[in-house]
Structures are given as C-alpha cells and as structure tokens.
C-alpha cells in the first residue's frame, strides 16, 4: 500500500488526504494546531459538534490561531530590510489559523474561480519591471473539472443565470452551482444599486455556505458572524467537514494534532525524502517516513519548512537550487470603502458577503500607471456589503484615536462605523516580487526553539498605481448608493508600505516548467526532490484578485489525482 | 418571529439596569462589599451542567481602584457604562483565569440561551490543551523564567501589570491627599488618567481600556456586559444562534429607507437582473472634480482586517493605535481636503 505524510490539515492538505485515501493510500496528516470539532474522526460530518460560537471575546483571544507568545509572526518592509532593520512588525498579523481543518474553520467561504486570463498573464499582457510575472504551467481548462468537482462536493451557492456574461466567458463551466443564492443583505442591496448606477454589474457571490440543507448539514441562518468565527450550526462548507473527516472515517487516514514538522530529511544523494521530523507538544522529536511527503502548510509555513530542511545536498533549503523558495510572497491588498447612511442598514444580518462585482478585474492601461513605469495593471473583485461586529467596532474607534470616556460612548451610540456604513472591500492583485520573501528570522524563536518565519514585503508600483486608479471609482460607487450621504475609501497600498492584514496568501514555492525560475513542477513536485510535493497556495505563480481557497482546493485535487492515477 | 423581538427584549432588560445604576454609588476604598452578586437577568437562567464559576484575583482595594478607573474609561451617562456592565468583574475573572477549571479563557459553545436554545452552553468554559495553557499562563502570569515561555525574552504578565498599575494610581491619589484612587472624584480621576506626562498611567490605561471593551461589549458569560449593558444602547443583537434571521429580516430594513423601491431584488428570489446580460465590464470614469463627500467623521473598517489588528495588538489600545497609525494619518488628510 503506498503511503504519504501530509504536513498541514487545511484545505490543500485535507483534500489531498481525501483523494489519496479514496485510492487506497495509507495517509498520516501532521497538524500543528488542535482539533476544535468534537466527534472528528468518529462521526459523520453532519453530526460533528463545534467549539466555535458567535463569541467575539473568544475570537479575539486567538482561538484556532497560533498564539503570538509561542509562535509570533514578524515582518518588515523592503526599505527597512535595505536599511538593515531586522523586523518592525511583531504579533499575530498574517498568522493563518492553526487547527485541524486549518483556516477553513473560520474563513468566509467566498468561492469565486480565477479567470481564464489569469493563467496566461505573461503571454497575454507581458512582463512588468521589478516583478516576476509568469504564466501558470496549467490552463484554466485543465483546472475546470476540479473546480466543478469541488463546488459540488463542498456545496457552493451561486447562480449562473444571474452572473454577467463577461464573467461566465472568463470562467467557462459545465453546469450551474449546486445551490441557489442565500437572501441578499439589505446593505448589500443598497451598495449593489450604487454599483449599477455607475454601470457595474453586481451578481450573487458564490460561497461555500448552504442556502438549503446540503450533505446533511443545515441551511445558513444569516447570522452575519462569519469572518474569524467558526460556524456554530455547521452550515458552512469547509475542508474538515467535506474532506478530512470523511477521509479519516475511511480508516486510511490518521491525524496527529499539535505536531510541528520542522525538518524533511533526504537520502545521501538529496533526490529523495526519507523522513520527516516533528515535535510534539512536550517538545519531544519524532520521525515518520512514507513514500510521498506532501507539504500543505500555507505559503509562509511551507517556505519556512523548506528553509529549515537545509542539508548538505540542499544548502539553501530543500529544493531551493533556484533561490526562489520563500520569494514571490504575495498578499492581496484590500481597498476598504463605505457609504454612510443616516439610518441603521443592518450590515450584520446576512452571510459575510452576498454580492460580488467583477467590473474592476482588468487588465487596464492608464496614464497614471504609465507614469510610474507600469505598462498595465490588474485589479480584482469587489466584495459588497459586510459589517463589523460590535466589539470590533469599539476597537476600531479606539485604534483610530477616539479617546476613552465620553467620546467613546458617543461614537458607540452614533455607531457610524457599524450600523450606518455599508461596506465594500476591493481585493487587489499583488504582483510577485523577488524581494517580497519569507526567510528565517536571525534570532527570534518559537516555543520549540525553532527559528520563526520573517516576512519582508512592500507593494510594487503596480499595486500603488492600481489603488490610485480604483479608489475614486470605488468612492463614486459608494456615493451612488441610494440614500448615501457620504463615502470614504482606504487605498491600502498607498497608505502603508506593509501588507494588508489579510488571510489571502500565495507564492513562496511557485510552480513552473523551468527549474531555474521555479521551485515545483506543474504537479507540485520539487524539481530537486522527486517524492516531495507542495500542494497549497505556495504554488501560485501569480495571485489574481479573487478569494483563493476554491483554487487552492481545486489545484490540490488536481495534483492529488495526478499522484494516484498518473504515478507521478 | 417579530422582527424586533430580540431588540425589544434587550431594551427591557437594559432599561431595568439603568434604574439600578442610578442608585449605585461607586464603591469606596476597600470597605464596601463587592457588587458581584448574580446579575438581575442574563446568563444563569438556564445553566448547563457544571457551569464554570469565575474566580477572583484582585483584593478589595485593587478591585475598587480598577472599578474607579473603568468608570472613567466607559462612563455612565444617558446609557450604561462599565459600572453597570461590571467590566471590573470581567477583568478580575480574566486575571484569575487559572483559578478555575477549565480555565476562564474561552466560553463554551455553540449556543447561549439568547437565540432560542434551551440551555446556555457558553457558561461551561472550554478546557485548554497544553499549548493554550502555556500561552495564556504566559500572558496572565508572565514568563517567570520558564524557558518555553520566554524564547524571545521575558514577558511581564497581566497580573503584575495590574498590580503595579493599580498601585501607581493609588500613589497618584495619595499625592492629592486621598487614601486611594477610588476616593477621588470623577474629575480628579480624569486628570490623572489623561495626564500626558505620566507614561506609566498611559500604558496601563491602554491595557485596561482594551480589556474593558471586551467586558463591555463581549458575551456576558465572561462576567462583563451584565444586564446586556453593552448591547442595549448600541442596538446590538449579540449572538443569535440557533434562531438566526429570517429571509425578510435579511433582505429588508426594519425601518424602511426612502429609496428601497430602487434596490435590486434579493438574489435568492432568482429574479433576472440586468447584470446577467452584460457582455463586458462596465466602464466608469469619475468626473475630474468628483463632488466628493467624505464622511464628516471618517470611519470604516472591515471585519477581516479588524480581527487581525485586534489579535496583533493583544487587545492593548496603545498597540492598536500604533498599528493603525497609517489609517489615522490618511483619514486626517482626507478630512482636511
């Protein structure tokens, strides 16, 4: 029986475990987080319990996330790196979830596909100075059957009948979504009307959220507490319920919790991995071996593990002969916008976001960009209609500098930021840059004593130019919402030289056909180590402006099927 | 269910609380009984088996000083403040988190009894695993020289921060001839906590304000937000599971807006909408002199981003302000335009 070790139990790891188990593989999944779904591995997914709830205190206390006391995340800008600053950011920013099921336990489950043009950006639109723009080694058409399979397994709501033709043309599909859309939130309807007024084309946001009972799990009741909350009623599709738990129930898969893999060992020639080594929660090291080693740690942690696995044959990190491991770290940037209303527009009553607008995906050319040396730029989708829960609202005012005492009470009573703002978030494409990279911090350690990952990042002129172009359009769209009395937007890349606070990560082990410029081949296999595959978002050569989880799942499924059927 | 059922229920409860508050004097200096009896309403009505009972860390004098501070951070005015909400009990329970079993860190799941569930499962806290226990003991007790708690240097625990911070407030009060901070008038306390020359106070206030926000607006099972003091004047529904919202409550406003007839129909009705015919993206060039109306008090945030910022700040307001410095600069610039 062939065997595999999968490092990380998020979407990429879970779907890979499921596919391998279906084909008779013996699979061990190693996960640094804990299980938060009682009944996991024992009961069918429709009967799983949860430790999550609509509890803002709990989510503010790193529930399901790494704790910064034990696993801090650090970062700095490119300019700071050039000045020799070791790190300027410290805390939990950009830490993805660590739990069995990964970040999919508390994601928003927005499930757009990438567009056909995204796979051929270099060929279609050409290079951009200072960025490593690349084609994907696969086409949209190769990925399409896997998009379809994931949508119908995990359960996605949407409606092709209500999607603009130009979106369908870029995302050809064989059939409609398995579920119709949920009710559209009132605030989202206001903002969608604004989008229509300026000529844009809003449509129902595809989401892995049940609008009716699906796979034994109930329909969403529109509580609104999605982002950073686990779904208390099991209405949201995720990697654990749809893939990992069913995989464990086959008896072919075991999951080791709170196990932190810190090294992949190779044979003397360096071309084959022999073992992985992990620490348990008592800091005791254990070794495991298998035919295949599958890495699914998410981009920052996947790069960290490859770098930690340096040995004589791989002196710069496992599979890093190209010096591309850790480079091309990409974060979507967000332009947050909002329209102010004179009354409560009930932003929290609806699943996280119910309306999508794709009119600003691009590519565009504009004198603004040409002046900055950028020949063209791409944007992304607009998430329309979402709100802040109450405690976040209070922190937001405090962080803006509204003082304690009477001003705080007045702000909370007026509640401009929660009750009276219809929100949008534009998700912008971030270009891959060699100097946006993950490396090992020279001195900071995690609770096992291992070097932590350090992220060096700054936006490219492409993102700054794009943000300047999009901001006034987004502001106008907000102002056009019926009844809007004012609007404001925050074009992140022009405000800060650091990444947005986002869970959308990609790059660091890009796939490509040329071993000199990529880390993995089209099957996710390290060019330099024949039985190690990367299957997560680290593989993405570019990062189009769409929520990435569906594409992470579909691409991992494609690779896993290649492993089981093609013998790769 | 009637649309405003939840809100009406909360309004009744907070109305009752306000009446109590009006007669509630602030405790004096370590000589008044704790006001930590069961709240008038809220959690406790339908407890699960083995609810977790909060413990206490602060002595009476510290407790009174902390309450006197919280009263100035989230004051009582026409709406309830930290005193009514018992933010002091929220913080005291958090500082004593490891005096209870399970630790008083994560409330239970998945439902309280506020959204139609028969029992309040939030009241039975979630057992921590080893990782979580080390992480939270480090936060609360400090690293204490234990190697796995201080890989990157010593960490001062919240218990020590509160001990020292409250002692400092008392010493400031003593400079004014009072016995302790709680004996000062509201105006005297405001002068101290807003004293820009006292860095120790500024640091402590940032820590306390951050936790007070959780005590005021978080779930009442953490011992704050009693009588839903934080969810009444803010018109907040709180946790609503398993009931959730009806389609009608999602799609339409409780109090209809003037322009509702102009809005696109809800997508769940499958109504054909004009977007479906669009064969290319809409093009829109904002006029050069966009008659921009920036909000007079420009605020906007996203839930995703705020959860990262709150986590990264550790809930400390001074840290959060540093993390949001760029926002503040940008918004101030916008306002000036």
Count Cβ atoms below 10 Å from residue A251 Cβ, excluding itself: 9
Q: Tell me: pLDDT of B137 over 70.
A: yes
Query: Which of B205, B264, B300 lies nearest to residue A189, judging by beta carbons?
Result: B264
* DSSP helix/strand/coil, B138: helix
Q: Supply the ipTM of this predicted assembly.
A: 0.96
Give yes or no for a contact between B76 and B83, defined as CB atoms under 8 angstroms apart.
Answer: yes
CB contact under 8 A, A359 and B268: no
In a domain, B247, yes or no: no
Label residue B13 by pLDDT band (50, 70, 90). Answer: very low
Distance CA A102, CA A106 (A): 8
Residue B26: pLDDT band (50, 70, 90) is low
| B29: in domain | no
Output the pLDDT for position B48: 81
Q: Determine the average pLDDT of the residues in B237-257.
A: 94
Residues 51-110 on A with a CB inside 8 Å of B are: 51-63, 65, 67-70, 72, 89, 91-95, 108
Q: Which of A125-139, A381-395, A514-528, B214-228 has the lowest mean pLDDT?
A: A381-395
> How far does B80 lie from chain A, in Å, by closest CA?
9
Contact A212/B at CB under 8 A? no
Distance CA A506, CA A510 (A): 9
In a domain, B250, yes or no: no
Residues 6+ apart with CB under 8 A from A82: none
In a domain, B2, yes or no: no
Looking at the predicted structure, is the pLDDT value of residue A93 above 80? no
Question: Are B221 and B123 contacting, i.e. CB atoms less than 8 angstroms apart?
Answer: yes
Answer whether residue B44 shows pLDDT above 80: no
B213/A68 Cβ within 8 A = no
> Which single residue is written with the structure tokens 């907000």?
A478
The pLDDT of A483-507, averaged and rounded, is 89
| Closest CA of chain B from A201, distance in Å | 5
Specify whether B223 is located in the same domain as B265. Answer: no
Q: Would you state the pLDDT for residue B179?
A: 94
Query: Looking at residue A22, what is its pLDDT?
Result: 96
Residues 237-266 on B with a CB inside 8 Å of A are 237-245, 247, 249-255, 257-259, 262-266
Does residue B137 fall inside a structural domain?
yes
**What is the pLDDT at residue B281?**
95
- The pLDDT of residue B272 is 62
Q: Report whether pLDDT(B158) > 50.
A: yes
Beta-carbon contacts of A56 under 8 Å, excluding residues fewer than 6 positions away, are A389, A390, A391, A392, B214, B217, B218, B219
Asked if B153 and B286 sit in the same domain, the reply is no
Q: Are A377 and B297 in contact (CB under 8 A)?
A: no
- Do B192 and B71 reside in the same domain of the chain? yes
What CA–CA distances, in Å, run from A526 to A2, A317, A345, A401, A541? 19, 12, 50, 48, 14
Q: Is A517 exposed, middle or buried (0-12, 13-18, 19+ CB in 10 A)?
A: middle
- Count the domains in chain B: 2
Tell if the CB–CB gap between A232 and B241 is shorter than 8 Å. Answer: yes
A395-415: b (≥16 Cβ within 10 Å) or e: bbbbbbbbebbeebbebbeeb
Q: Of all residues in chain A, what percent carry a pLDDT higher than 90?
A: 91
* Residue B294 pLDDT: 60
- Tokens 């909350």, residue located: A229
Q: What is the rounded average pLDDT for all residues in chain B? A: 85
Is the pLDDT at A358 greater than 60? The verdict is yes
Query: Is B22 an 8 Å CB contact of chain A?
Result: no
Residues B283 and B228 in one domain: no
Do B120 and B196 belong to one domain?
A: yes
Instruction: Indicate whether B91 and B220 sit together in one domain.
Output: yes
Residue A126 to residues A203, A512, B288, Cα–Cα distance (Å): 30, 17, 30
Residue B311 lies in a domain: yes
Q: How far A246 CA lies from chain B's nearest CA (Å)?
A: 22
- Going by the DSSP 8-state scheme, the letter that residue A244 receives in this structure is I
Does A357 score more than 60 pLDDT? yes
Q: Is A125 on the interface with B (CB under 8 A)?
A: no
If asked whether residues B184 and B42 sit together in one domain, one would say: yes
Mean pLDDT computed over A175-192: 96
pLDDT in tens, A552-565: 999 999 999 999 99
3-state secondary structure at position A158: coil
State whether residue B119 sits within 8 Å of chain A by CB. Answer: no
Q: Are residues B210 and B63 in the same domain?
A: yes
Q: What is the pTM of this model?
A: 0.94
Please report which confidence band the pLDDT of residue B291 belongs to, taking 50, 70 and 90 as the band edges.
Answer: low
Give the number of beta-carbon pairs within 8 Å between A and B. 444
| pLDDT value of residue B288 | 64
The mean pLDDT value for B154-160 works out to 97
B153 touches chain A (CB under 8 A): no
In which order are the strands placed within the sheet that holds A451-456? A89-91, A73-76, A451-456, A437-445
Classify residue B39 by burial, with Cβ atoms within 10 Å: 0-12, 13-18, 19+.
buried
Closest to B295 (Cβ–Cβ): which among A228, A397, A488? A488
Q: Is A354 on the interface with B (CB under 8 A)?
A: yes
Residues of A in contact with B315 (CB under 8 A): 60, 395
Q: What pLDDT, on a 0 to 100 scale, did the predictor assign at position B132? A: 98
pLDDT at position B251 is 96
Claim to verify: residue B118 and residue B38 sit in the same structural domain? yes
Per-residue pLDDT of B76-109, as tens digits, reads: 999 999 999 999 999 999 999 999 999 999 999 9
**What average pLDDT does this structure show over B119-129?**
97
The answer on B264 and B201 residing in a single domain is no
How many angstroms separate the CA atoms of B266 and A351, rounded? 13
pLDDT at residue B18, as a whole number: 37
Q: Does B157 touch chain A (CB under 8 A)?
A: no
Q: For A518-565, what is each residue's pLDDT tens digit?
A: 999 999 999 999 999 999 999 999 999 999 999 999 999 999 999 999
Q: Are residues B228 and B310 in the same domain?
A: no
Neighbours of A169 (CB within 10 A): 12
Mean pLDDT of chain A: 95
Whether B148 and B281 share a structural domain: no
With 80 as the cut, is the pLDDT of residue B337 above it? no
Q: Is the pLDDT of residue B2 over 50?
A: no
**Domain membership of residue B192 as a residue range:** 34-234
Percent of chain B surpassing pLDDT 90:
66
A456–chain B Cβ distance below 8 A for any pair: no
Q: Using one digit for the tens of pLDDT, what is the confidence trace for B167-204?
A: 999 999 999 999 999 999 999 999 999 999 999 999 99
| Domain-embedded: residue B40 | yes
B136 domain-assigned: yes
B38 interfaces chain A, CB cutoff of 8 Å: no
């Amino acid at each position: 029986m062939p065997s595999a070790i999968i490092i990380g139990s998020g979407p990429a790891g879970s779907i890979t475990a499921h596919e391998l188990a279906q084909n008779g593989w013996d699979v061990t999944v190693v996960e640094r987080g804990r299980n938060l779904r009682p009944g996991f591995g024992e009961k069918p997914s429709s009967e799983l319990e949860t430790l999550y709830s609509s509890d803002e205190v709990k989510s503010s206390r790193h529930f399901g996330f790494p704790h910064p006391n034990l696993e801090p995340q650090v970062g700095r800008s490119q300019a700071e790196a050039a000045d020799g600053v070791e790190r300027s950011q410290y805390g939990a920013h950009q830490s993805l979830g660590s739990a069995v099921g990964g970040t999919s336990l508390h994601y928003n489950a927005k499930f757009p596909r990438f567009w056909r043009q995204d796979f051929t950006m270099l060929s279609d639109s050409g290079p951009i100075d200072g960025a490593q723009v690349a084609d994907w080694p696969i086409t949209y058409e190769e990925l399409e059957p896997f998009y379809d399979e994931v949508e119908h397994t995990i359960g996605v709501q949407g409606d092709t009948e209500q999607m603009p033709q130009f979106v369908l043309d870029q995302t050809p599909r064989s059939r409609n979504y398995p579920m119709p859309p949920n009710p559209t939130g009132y605030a989202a309807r206001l903002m969608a009307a604004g989008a229509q007024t300026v000529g844009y084309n809003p449509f129902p946001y595809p989401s892995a959220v049940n609008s009716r009972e699906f796979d034994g799990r109930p329909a969403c009741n529109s509580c609104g507490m999605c982002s950073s909350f686990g779904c208390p009623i099991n209405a949201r599709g995720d990697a654990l319920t749809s893939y990992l738990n069913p995989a464990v129930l086959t008896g072919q898969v075991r999951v080791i919790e709170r196990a932190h893999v810190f090294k992949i060992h190779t044979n003397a020639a360096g071309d084959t991995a022999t073992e992985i080594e992990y620490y348990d929660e008592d800091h005791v090291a254990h070794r495991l071996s298998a035919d295949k080693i599958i890495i699914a740690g998410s981009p920052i942690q996947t790069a960290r593990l490859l770098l930690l696995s340096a040995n004589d044959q791989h002196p710069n990190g496992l599979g890093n002969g190209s010096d591309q491991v850790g480079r091309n770290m990409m974060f979507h940037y967000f332009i947050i916008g909002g329209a102010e209303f004179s009354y409560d527009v009930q932003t929290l009553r609806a699943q996280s976001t119910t309306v999508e607008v794709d009119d600003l995906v691009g590519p565009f050319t504009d004198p603004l960009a040409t002046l900055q040396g950028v020949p063209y730029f791409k944007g992304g989708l607009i998430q329309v209609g979402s709100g802040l829960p109450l405690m976040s609202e209070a922190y937001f005012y405090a962080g803006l500098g509204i003082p304690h005492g009477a001003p705080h009470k007045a702000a909370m009573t007026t509640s401009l930021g929660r009750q009276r703002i219809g929100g949008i978030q534009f998700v912008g494409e971030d270009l891959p840059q060699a100097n946006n990279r993950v490396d090992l911090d020279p001195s900071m350690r995690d609770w096992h004593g291992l070097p932590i990952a350090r992220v060096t990042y700054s936006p490219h002129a492409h993102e700054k130019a794009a943000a300047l172009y999009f901001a006034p359009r987004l502001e106008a769209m907000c102002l056009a919402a019926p009844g809007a009395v004012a609007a404001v937007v925050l074009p992140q890349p022009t405000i800060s030289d650091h990444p947005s606070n986002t869970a959308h990560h990609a790059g660091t082990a890009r796939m490509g056909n040329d071993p000199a410029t990529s880390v993995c081949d089209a099957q996710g296999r390290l060019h330099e180590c024949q039985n190690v595959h990367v299957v997560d978002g680290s593989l993405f050569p570019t990062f189009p402006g769409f929520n990435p989880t569906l594409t992470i799942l579909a691409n991992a499924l494609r690779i896993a099927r290649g492993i089981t059927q093609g013998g790769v | 269910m009637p649309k405003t059922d939840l809100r009406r229920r909360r309004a009744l409860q907070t109305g009752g609380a306000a009446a109590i508050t009006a007669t509630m004097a602030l405790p004096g200096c370590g000589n008044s009984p704790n006001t930590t009896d069961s709240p008038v309403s809220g959690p406790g009505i339908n407890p699960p088996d083995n609810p977790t009972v909060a413990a206490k860390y602060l002595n009476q004098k510290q407790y009174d000083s902390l309450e006197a501070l919280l009263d100035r951070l989230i004051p009582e005015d026409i709406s309830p403040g930290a005193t009514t909400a018992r933010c002091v009990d929220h913080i005291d329970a958090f500082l004593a988190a490891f005096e209870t079993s399970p630790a008083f860190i994560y409330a239970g799941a998945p439902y309280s009894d506020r959204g139609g569930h028969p029992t309040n499962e939030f009241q039975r806290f979630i057992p921590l695993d080893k990782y979580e226990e080390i992480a939270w003991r480090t936060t609360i007790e400090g690293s204490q020289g234990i190697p796995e708690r201080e890989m990157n240097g010593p960490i001062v625990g919240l218990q020590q921060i509160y001990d020292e911070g409250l002692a400092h407030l008392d010493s400031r009060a003593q400079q004014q001839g009072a016995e302790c901070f709680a004996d000062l008038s509201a105006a005297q306390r405001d002068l101290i906590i807003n004293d820009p020359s006292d860095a120790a106070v500024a640091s402590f206030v940032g820590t306390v304000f951050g936790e007070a926000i959780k005590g005021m607006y978080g779930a009442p099972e953490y011992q704050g937000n009693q009588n839903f003091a934080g969810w009444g004047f803010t018109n907040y529904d709180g946790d609503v599971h398993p009931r959730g919202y009806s389609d009608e409550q999602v799609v339409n406003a409780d109090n209809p807006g003037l322009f509702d007839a102009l809005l696109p129909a809800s997508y769940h009705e499958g109504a054909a909408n004009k977007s479906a015919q669009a064969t290319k993206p809409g093009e829109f060039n904002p006029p050069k002199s966009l008659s921009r109306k920036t909000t007079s008090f420009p605020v906007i945030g996203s839930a995703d981003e705020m959860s990262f910022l709150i986590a990264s700040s550790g809930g400390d307001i001074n840290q959060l302000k540093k993390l949001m410095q760029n926002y503040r600069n940008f918004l101030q610039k916008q306002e000036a335009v």
